[in-house]
Amino acid sequence: MAPLTTPCACPDCVCTVSEGDAVLRDGSAFCSEACASGHKNQEPCHGNGSCGCTCNA
Q: pLDDT tens digits for 10-49?
A: 998 999 999 889 999 999 999 999 999 999 888 888 765 5
What is the spatial distance between Cα 26 and Cα 19, in angstroms, rounded to a whole number?
A: 15
pLDDT band at 50 (very low <50, low <70, confident <90, very high): low
How long, in residues, is the chain?
A: 57
Which domains are assigned to the chain? 1-57 (2.30.170.10)
Give first-to-last CA distance, the chain, whole Å. Answer: 36
Question: Between 1 and 7, where is the model more confident?
Answer: 7
Q: What backbone torsions phi and psi does residue 19 show, to the nearest 5 degrees? A: -55, -40
Please tell me the pTM assigned to this model: 0.83
pLDDT of the residue at 33: 92
pLDDT at 5 over 80: yes
Which residues, in sequence order, are bridge partners of residue 5?
18
